[in-house]
Structure 1
């Protein structure tokens, strides 16, 4: 009796044990049953059999998983906070929507409320605000008088350097560059300058430059699949885009991407929704109750342009989406690291924060990836892009950002929506709390708050 008591007294005290769970191996999709996950100070300190963990640790909190599946929390690697200061509260509500849908990390791809986003990021990191971890670019680099709001307008090398100085003062996590009015020579200079400062870059690709040229200048990730599709069209081609695309030529370009460790975020969902508005206007989406009036108002510019096109133009949009999405397995087979991102947030019509990542994963699978490959795009490749090694698996020394699922997402990607609990920094949010996040956001929108 004494020895058993002494052993119990010596058992390390930890914060949380998740017992009787099935751990998903994110490298190969295998499942290990009868496991317990031990968590302390926001980190996983042990993953072992139920009996081993029970005998080794004492926890302040226990979750009996009852055979449910545990995997790393989801990442949305392309979203946008924005819409001006009048929408700050609506943007801040995105944090609850993401957590309610098992998204524990997000990458903000620039807009016009960057100072507030940086503030939220720092508050979350300092445990002063509840939400997914935020990685942000701050304002993006563009040319003079672009269509985008809240950008850093640059047209000379000196202006590029000054803009990067300001971004580093904001302590941004990476730099975004787009090509609406940015001159090609300054675009290339900006990529080189970002690399010289030891920062990461994400960008659109100007039509006047080749994929190899922007990679050689230092690009780290391509945003939107259409740019990779265009890269598969030899410059000498003159026919329609669909007939120009050359799979063998594209493979050469994609291998160059892979060899230079250039990632891509396809953002299938935004393209799919806009290209299929003739089939679904989304005006009756139940999820709209979670989106504030100011954010909804930013949807109109894309909707108005898309809804009045001809039947023939709609058909062409469908075909274009199909042609572009089909290259996803080609990128995967050539070794390009694909990241999962939605383009959710402000401006991009009916691409919703939270639920959007589940829809994106489903579209990836529909385009030809396996469920495991789609999940890896979200939870493995995403932190790898940022050079973060403490994410990507349920294993010792990894961050305790996890989701507990009722069903196996390796068998059916839609199982990512069957969320029992979300764990962020070792803090548990059960189904009741997650539903309350959603209800509180909906109630605030009804009240006009």
Structure 2
């Protein structure tokens, strides 16, 4: 990818100056140091639980996971006694929109290297170790930030990019497309252009891409809804390049069509009607992954709690942000209509039926939800709508990583990345216990959450 001298200059300035603020101090001694986290309950992310277990880490990698009595380590290892605590993998968020949110404002003018890095740390603060930003990034600048993170110059959650393809005039929700300076998606008006675009993205090193299949496009200037012959060309070409496609689709008919033509990943579950046996069989046979984005569709539910009323959110933003959110808040009705109750029940039934295919994604940065915080809200909604806490954790860690071939993250096993949360309570008892964060470790390094909180709350 050819990068403009202007973009390079901006990023260099950010790294030399801005990173001093955004990057918490590194407390890890050196790459060869070992750390032993012992006597903890270990929820590995794949459904297994080890009581009185240990995690042995060297540098940024897990060396061993098992019962405390079974793990040998050197006498020089740094030892952390976690009696009564729980370790879970860092969360893997497969759908958010980084760069636009300014915590008190929003727009394309905030898509800067410094703001991207801030969003990576906001995810890390809440124990999100990996984030896929889908279809709204300014790709040249985003690629630079990702490269500098790979070099070790930027910390926070691991940053993955997913460029977007859609019909001309379509793509993200109007909040993006109404911005006069929005750079747009990659237009795919016909199968030939779809093939060329996928090849170009693959040549630029992208392994994940998003497509929009949504009738709302026709109502806001797109020429046509993305047609099956176009997304067939996308899916077939992507398969040749080992590129994983995730499709934005919200209707049962579009889900069925996309699965039939080879799509395996979805942003949004069917919202328009109850899923049927045919669809359930299709997703089982094809090992389909689905991001339900429950936080987006439950804001009018009576149980909804806005972020500015939640201590888990409001103690790490300035009072001015809370005041702005409060001033602009339109609360849900105290009583739902019969139609709204029926729809809520239908969506809960859909989630329960699809639970073995669910992965984590929040849409944060696009729909008024906030990075990292929204992930824990989504976990709670998984459980509220029919999943067990254990199922919700698997969905948000190992299965999310598996869906995109992110083989180094998502579970606590030897050889995996040392990305995990230490909790003060057991989330298998109550999923809200994922909020009881004592520490977050990413790449084997402790995230300085207190320093970040002080920085953000001023």
Measured against the shorter chain, the TM-score band is 0.7 to 0.9
Deviations 1:104-157 (A, max 9, x none): 11111121423333222222222111111122202x111112243421112122
Q: How does 1:272-291 map to 2 (within 5 A)?
A: 272-273=298-299, 275-276=300-301, 287=313
Contact 1:97 1:438 in 2 (8 A): no
Is there any run of 5+ residues in structure 2 with no aligned partner, and where? Answer: 1-31, 101-106
Task: Show the counterpart of 1:197.
Answer: 241
Structure 2 counterpart of 1:102, from 119, 124, 127 = 127
Q: Say whether residues 1:327 and 2:350 are aligned partners.
A: yes
Contact 1:90 1:292 in 2 (8 A): no
Contact 1:85 1:113 in 2 (8 A): no
Counterparts in 2 of 1:87 and 1:391: CA distance versus 1, 3 Å = closer
Task: Show the counterpart of 1:178.
Answer: 212
Task: Show the counterpart of 1:362.
Answer: 380
Q: How does 1:16-31 map to 2 (within 5 A)?
A: 16-31=35-50
Q: Say whether residues 1:220 and 2:264 are aligned partners.
A: yes
Tell me the distance in 2 between the aligned counterparts of 1:116 and 1:307. Answer: 35
Q: How does 1:24-173 map to 2 (within 5 A)?
A: 24-33=43-52, 35-53=53-71, 56-81=73-98, 82=100, 83-88=107-112, 89-138=114-163, 140-146=164-170, 147=174, 148=177, 149=182, 150-173=184-207
Q: Say whether residues 1:392 and 2:410 are aligned partners.
A: yes
CA RMSD in angstroms comes to 3.3
Tell me the distance in 1 between the aligned counterparts of 2:346 and 2:374. Answer: 22
Task: Show the counterpart of 1:341.
Answer: 361
Contact 1:29 1:372 in 2 (8 A): no
TM-score, with structure 2 as normaliser: 0.77
Counterparts in 2 of 1:56 and 1:209: CA distance versus 1, 3 Å = closer
Residue 80 of structure 1: how far off its partner (Å): 0.6
Deviations 1:180-224 (A, max 9, x none): 244313233222222233211101237695433211322121111
Tell me the distance in 2 between the aligned counterparts of 1:397 and 1:168. Answer: 28
Counterparts in 2 of 1:288 and 1:308: CA distance versus 1, 3 Å = closer
Larger radius of gyration: 1
Q: Say whether residues 1:415 and 2:441 are aligned partners.
A: no
Task: Show the counterpart of 1:404.
Answer: 422
Moved more, 316-325 or 195-204: 316-325
Counterparts in 2 of 1:59 and 1:166: CA distance versus 1, 3 Å = farther
Tell me the distance in 1 between the aligned counterparts of 2:298 and 2:290. Answer: 17
Count, aligned residues: 397
Task: Show the counterpart of 1:264.
Answer: 290
Moved more, 193-202 or 406-415: 193-202
Residue 359 of structure 1: how far off its partner (Å): 0.6
Moved more, 204-213 or 262-271: 204-213
Contact 1:251 1:330 in 2 (8 A): no
Counterparts in 2 of 1:367 and 1:279: CA distance versus 1, 3 Å = closer
Residue 40 of structure 1: how far off its partner (Å): 1.3
Deviations 1:26-84 (A, max 9, x none): 34453321x3221113111122444554x532345332223311121111221111331
Contact 2:302 2:332 in 1 (8 A): no
Q: Say whether residues 1:425 and 2:439 are aligned partners.
A: no
Tell me the distance in 2 between the aligned counterparts of 1:410 and 1:308. Answer: 31
Counterparts in 2 of 1:308 and 1:268: CA distance versus 1, 3 Å = closer
Q: How does 1:431-446 map to 2 (within 5 A)?
A: 433-443=448-458
Contact 2:51 2:67 in 1 (8 A): no
Tell me the distance in 2 between the aligned counterparts of 1:375 and 1:441. Answer: 28
Deviations 1:283-331 (A, max 9, x none): 66664686799x99xx9xxx99x95999999774554334213211111
Residue 401 of structure 1: how far off its partner (Å): 0.7
Counterparts in 2 of 1:30 and 1:46: CA distance versus 1, 3 Å = closer
Is there any run of 5+ residues in structure 1 with no aligned partner, and where? Answer: 1-12, 231-240, 444-449
Counterparts in 2 of 1:56 and 1:208: CA distance versus 1, 3 Å = closer
Contact 1:268 1:325 in 2 (8 A): no
